[in-house]
Amino acid sequence: MSDHYQVLGVGRDATGEEIKKAYRKLARKLHPDVNSAPGAQDEFKAVTHAYEVLADPQKRRIYDTTGNENGNDNGFGGGAGFGGQNFGFQDIFDTFFGGGGGGGRGPASRTRRGQDALINVRIDLKDAVFGTNKKIEVDTAVTCPTCDGSCCQPGTSPRTCDICHGSGQVQRAVRSILGQVMTSAPCGSCQGYGTVIPDPCHECAGEGRVRSRRTLNIKIPAGVATGTRIQLGGQGEAGTAGGPQGDLYVEIRVNADPTFVREGDDLHATLTVPMTAAALGSSINFETFDGDREIAVKAGTQSGEVTTLKGLGVTHLRGYGRGDLLVHLHVETPQKLDAEQEELLRKLAQLRGEEYAEGRLAGSGTGVFARLRDRLGNH
């Protein structure tokens, strides 16, 4: 017995689609109606039988394991030739006509799964840090409450199509290279469903679903960010004719916060410190999402220094713990001084050896103003 994989010209790891493509190519070439060369008919029978075995997962498994089909290694086997009943006429028809033929498919089903739906939900940054529960209103298709998805007016039911007699298909003769061939197509009277609805539901117009607004309670986990999508299975559009609902996807949009900026799972904030507090040292209460925290400002603090509060950032979405809160200190220089305040600062400058006269620094003092002067002088 020849090797079926070699007959079709495919590897033993070929997929079902690759096997089907190889068979179609060879069938077009070797079919007796298009190839009258000696031996072509026998080759066509071998190709057809090889496809019959390898296209059936169970037969292919037995063949790969034992090297034969059902323990029988006697050539083509019964019913494997062109006139046999096992190789599937639909594949031959698809080979020459591109599909759409062959009876036996049965009527189509009106029932279809509903589409998925997507909505955007806005939350505050604090909700993203800790998570929250939120009520949302969704406008989607739901199963018709009047007909309960049957598409029929209550008290009525679908009727078998008089044209196709419930098969959903009508046959017609087509002339081809194979001669006159009977093909089938969806019935135009019932649209291929095999039944017609003589009295459609008045509320849903025979679709089995209607539009409705409903309220859902959703749980938004801690750690979400803008762009995060939450999938709610079976909460999307209802399908036609009582079909199952699709899924609902909730896409998160996080509002900007006036105090905190998020970077990954860390939060950043700026704390303004008076010049005197920065010079003398102090402690300042700072309001976080977890309540007030005391920020220690050491004497001599400069603008740009950062105080890190561990574990006060955003909760990790796919793990445990939280990021950090980084507080950036900004030393504020007073802009408006009265005469007394200005005099006090002049005295401070003199005490520190920082000569200041007529709006200019003088001398080579090493105080803060001298360092500022030197820094500016280098630019």
Q: Which residue ranges make up the annotated binding site?
A: 144, 147, 161, 164, 187, 190, 201, 204
H or E element that contains 219: strand 209-220
Virtual torsion, Cα 123, 129, 134, 137, nearest 10 deg? 30
**174 Cβ partners below 8 Å, 6+ apart?**
97, 180, 181, 182, 183
Q: Which two tokens stand for residue 182?
A: 């009977």
Binding residues for Zn(2+), as ranges, are: 144, 147, 161, 164, 187, 190, 201, 204
> What is the secondary structure of 64-110 as a DSSP string?
HHHSSBTTB-STT-TT-STT-SSS-HHHHHHHHH-SS--S---PPPS
Angle between helices 16-30 and 89-97 (to 10 degrees): 70
Stated length of the chain: 379
The residues facing 113 across adjacent strands are none
Of 35, 41, 38, 48, the residue nearest 4 (C-alpha): 48
